[in-house]
Amino acid sequence: MSLVEDLRKTVIASYEVDAETASTQSFDFPLMPLGTAYDMGRDANGIPLFDPRIFDSREFQRNPYPYYRILRDHYPVYHDKLHNCYFVTRYNDIAECYFDGLGYNTIPKGSSNHVLGNTQLELSGIEHSRRRNLYGRHLVGAALTKRIGAICKLANEMIDEWFNPASGMTEYDPATGKYTMELGKAFANEFPIRVVCQVLGFPDEARDKFYYWYKYMMGGIGGRDYEQKGLMARQDLEDFVESIVEERRLKPNFLLDDEGNEVAPDIISELCKTIVDGDVLSTEEITSNIALIVGGGGETTRGAILNMWYLLLQHPDQMEAVLNNDPLWDAAFHETLRHSSSIGGQPRQNTFDVELQGVKVPAGSLMHMVDFSANHDERIFADPEKFDIFRNDLYSEKILRSGYKKDGRTNHMAFGVGPHLCPGAWISHQEGSIGSSIMSKRIKNVRIATERMAKDIDGVSLAPIGLGAINELWLEFEAM
């Protein structure tokens, strides 16, 4: 019996056994060429079979998109009995679910609030809008525009450190005049955290604690093993914020421009004076909003910066175009998030029994809205595996909250769409585009230090991004 036939029979059998039994039937999927799915066999009608154990494999982590295509084409709402959930993989279906707050009622209860506190992530309708609006208006529009100077200043301060030998951020070869550094450590990991820290209004000395809060609260959401550390970090954040809130209620703090002039109050100061139902917000309410901003303030931007430079440097014609036309950083940022987002999707629970794409989903089921797959849906984006900052089907201007299509172009799903669009989307866009633009004006002749980078299965090609973001990006460059 062939390996494929043996696997086919195993897959069919797995539909008939309980999850505990299926989970013991492990299979080591071979690593395939990028863009090619492992053949899991076909049913009597010639439809490709799909083994849910692929989700747990290394092959899926590095080469997910051909498997998502199988799901989109043949199982657009896939019932994964092994992991006891449903995967929704087509763009239009996901968008419909995101905009239907009644039928697909936010994320499963208890999956985040045990660490972050009582945030709007697990709310919907009027209560969700009320909580989101407490701080959301401070992260968009004119309020955010006023903070561009602060973002630029922070970026330049960090880049200055690259050329300070005492910082240890770079290695310098005087014989060639070239610097070598790892972009994550030198910039991408910390830049978005510093920006959010400043916009919130934390003092500079809280920067190290901010990273601690972010790391462990996000880790605590991820599973039981890290929950206790996440709760400890959340309590430490609340204790710290309590003292700041008491001060800011009496004396607001302001962000300053380069000349030292007051530009806008920080977000903590804004929250302290916010009145809801005739009363000011409690310290706990303010802390919960801050915890959400802390949690969402790092990973998307970090991943976008690393992935964007990784992709652009592998497409030198596009890199050259961006360097010669600064506004193209916006297009590069959005195409990066479409092509290789670091955030994969959002879970939902359906309020009622629903039928989607012919699949009946019982009320209360865990449904994964797979943004990774939506961003590669060929029904929406032509040649979706291709990285192309010039594509004419991707909307890459001001992020749309109320809609997701304009002028024949469509938003990517990296921030979601609809009422639960990531509230930090606009500041993430600023950090990624502005930070990268400033970098490009401080360094030249940049190339990937391939000898220090992870390789793909052939041992020669650069490793693919796969799901999420690359961990390291080693660069070689000269100073401007």
Share of the chain above pLDDT 70, in %: 80
| pLDDT for the residue numbered 222 | 56
pLDDT for 400: 67
Tell me the pLDDT band of 9, cut-offs 50, 70 and 90: very low
Tokens 């797979």, located at residue: 370
pLDDT confidence of 258, banded at 50, 70, 90? low
In this predicted model, which residue has the larger pLDDT, 115 or 168?
A: 168
Instruction: Give φ, ψ of 344 to 5 degrees.
Output: -95, -20
Residue 67 has pLDDT above 80, yes or no: yes
Hey, which residues does 447 pair with through a beta bridge?
476
pLDDT at 7 over 50: no
Higher pLDDT, 194 or 475: 475
pLDDT at 49 over 90: yes
Candidates 462, 457, 433, 437; CA nearest to 447 is: 462
Q: What pLDDT score was predicted for residue 101?
A: 80
pTM of the prediction? Answer: 0.85
Q: Are 373 and 89 in contact (CB under 8 A)?
A: yes
The answer to which of 88-102, 113-127, 248-262, 425-439 has the lowest mean pLDDT is: 113-127
For residue range 30-48, what is the model confidence (pLDDT) as tens digits? 999 999 999 999 999 999 9
Give me the helices (H) in 83-140, please.
Answer: 91-99, 113-116, 125-136
Three-state SS string over 278-338 comes to CEECCHHHHHHHHHHHHHHCCHHHHHHHHHHHHHHHCCHHHHHHHHHCCCHHHHHHHHHHH
Phi-psi region of 268 (alpha: psi -120 to 50; beta: other; left: phi over 0): alpha
Using alpha carbons, select from 394, 455, 372, 379 the residue that is nearest to residue 67.
Answer: 372
CATH of domain 113-479: 1.10.630.10
pLDDT mean across residues, the chain: 83
pLDDT band at 429 (very low <50, low <70, confident <90, very high): confident
The predicted-structure confidence for 334-392, as pLDDT tens digits, reads as follows 999 999 988 788 888 899 999 999 999 999 999 999 999 999 999 999 999 999 999 99
Give the closest residue to 293 by CA, choosing from 76, 61, 117. 117
Q: Name the range with the highest mean pLDDT among 206-210, 224-228, 273-277, 335-339.
A: 335-339
Q: Let me know: does 109 contact 122? Beta carbons within 8 Å.
A: yes
Per-residue model confidence as pLDDT tens digits over 270-280: 888 877 777 78
pLDDT number for residue 132: 57
pLDDT (tens digit per residue) in 278-334 = 778 788 778 777 766 666 556 678 899 999 999 999 999 999 999 999 999 999 999
Q: Who wins on pLDDT, 214 or 431?
A: 431
| Contacts of residue 95, Cβ cutoff 8 Å, sequence gap at least 6 | 374, 404, 413, 417, 418
- Which pLDDT belongs to residue 77? 98
Q: Which of 135-144, 190-199, 253-262, 406-415 has the highest mean pLDDT?
A: 406-415
Confidence of residue 244 (pLDDT cuts 50, 70, 90): confident
Mean pLDDT, residues 237-257 taken together: 83
Query: Alpha-carbon torsion 204, 209, 211, 214, what sign?
Result: negative
Rounded to an integer, what distance in angstroms lies between the CA atom of residue 409 and that of residue 382?
Answer: 11
% residues pLDDT > 90 (the chain): 50
Can you give the pLDDT at residue 16?
Answer: 35
Residue boundaries of the structural domains of the chain: 113-479
| pLDDT at residue 8 tops 70 | no
